[in-house]
Amino acid sequence: MTTDPSASPAIDLAALLAAQRAAYRLDGAPSLAERRANLAKLRAALIDNRTRLEEAINADFGHRSRHETSIMELGSTISGIDYLHKHLRRMMRPEKRHVAVHMQFGSARVEYQPLGVIGVMAPWNYPLVLAVMPLATALAAGNRVLLKPSEFTPTINALLEEILGALFSAEQVAVVNGDAAVGAAFSALPFDHLVFTGSTTVGRKVMQAASEHLVPVTLELGGKSPVIVEKGHPLDHACAGIVFGKLVSGGQTCIAPDYALVHEDDLAGFLTHYEAAVVAAYPDGPASEDYTWVFNDRHLARLNGLLEDARAKGATLREIGREAPGVNPRAMRPSLVLNVSDDMTIAHEEIFGPILPVFTYRTLGEAIDVVEARPRPLALYYFGHDKAAQRQVLDGTTSGNVTLNGTLLHIAQDDLPFGGVGASGIGAYHAIEGFRRLSHAKGIYVQGRWNVTTLLRPPFGKMAERLLRFVLR
């Protein structure tokens, strides 16, 4: 079911939320079989509509590689759903917990209970996986969902509305479309939990709105995710991995490498191998069928503004790969930015495009200091096989996740939590951590027939003194 509450968002949204909450109270928590059935029919519908999903996302982007959509969005979603389906019994199983020695005749356990109604706010850059994976996780945890996609992806939104509307009643899953005002009203609803994926700036506003009703939030934001290349590491290997992570979906990925730290002795080789990797991946340059465009003109103007600011302040810009005269300007040619200084906007803002600033370092400690001087990133990448150096980077930096000797691939591991830390986000919604994030861990103690604590009730006497001496020894 979908609604476009542009006329009176607060009233319509409140009614949707109330209907889902009433249905949850009436029906209670769904069984394992019901949850698996929901996941199975969601999976089947996505597979059945693969071509339509690829075409819809391509229409919203202007041009996006259909293979990228199937690999990065549909494939990731199907894999995540399969993981939830396979491990759901274990996730739902109550956990036995330790009982204090003086209460050994009792028992303790944790049961994971659905929260109720989950709000999900999805962004434009990955409009399928970042909408459906939080949805699937919420359903696996036994919840109902209100989904607010980005207003910038109307084609895929309409298709998701159609697909989800055919699978679920409005009391179980409802899609809400609308502009930024609707999004603001949505974020202010008294959900049982709110999952938001997007920019740090908007994330702050979402968290502030949610705090009015003390709604707990999961925020998957972003930031400047660094890639460090160890001195002497094979540059063909490193650059192939960096080009993949940087240029997939036109660089418009929240965990894309935002800047590179390369040893000063390896800079010339890095520039050569990076260009070779770009040409190998996109032989026709920005005209390549597999090269994704910048999402819209506004974002293109922002990226060009970053480059112009850097150039005006002394940076060296180096366009990479083959030229493609006559292509749409949004098919932005990849570029490297050298001699970046701290007064440049590109040194501080998340780039979100096919632009890679390159910094040099002399010692690994110096590279780590550069990373730690910035807000904590959503991801960090390190290319190098030296175990001691890997340990130094892992211990010396704090980031949401890490991939060693590759980029992006941590997000493809369904058994790893995915989320940020500090300015890059709060919480995670993959793996068992995601299930538990959207569940209430209810601690339960069952008192045994004989309970020594009855001796600690008034009136207190010698036995209470003896027990206290034992406990407080």
Residues with active-site annotation: 220
- 428 three-class SS: strand
Q: Beta 335-338 vs 316-319: how paired, if at all?
A: antiparallel
Buried b (16+ CB within 10 A) or exposed e, 164-201: beeebebbbbbbbbbeeebbbbbbbbbbbbbbbbbbbe
- CA distance linking residue 307 with residue 407, whole number of Å: 24
- CA distance linking residue 98 with residue 107, whole number of Å: 8
Contact 418, 80 (CB under 8 A): no
> Is 425 buried (19+), middle (13-18) or exposed (0-12) by CB count in 10 A?
buried
- Pinpoint the alpha helices (H) of 282-375: 297-312, 364-372
Closest CA to 401 of 374, 384, 424, 371: 424
Structural tokens at position 282: 């996109």
Buried b (16+ CB within 10 A) or exposed e, 7-35: eebeebbeebbebbbeebeeeebbeeeeb
Tell me the one-letter amino acid at 189: L
- Using omega within 30 degrees of 0 as the cis cutoff, is the peptide bond preceding 459 cis? yes
- CA distance linking residue 176 with residue 173, whole number of Å: 10
Phi, psi of 450 (to 5 degrees): -110, 130
- Distances in Å between the Cα of 246 and the Cα atoms of 3, 254, 255, 327, 382 are 36, 10, 9, 21, 14
- 134 three-class SS: helix
- CA distance linking residue 67 with residue 165, whole number of Å: 26
HEC readout, 246-275: HHHHHHCCCCCCCEEEEEHHHHHHHHHHHH
Residues in the chain: 473
Phi, psi of 331 (to 5 degrees): -80, 75
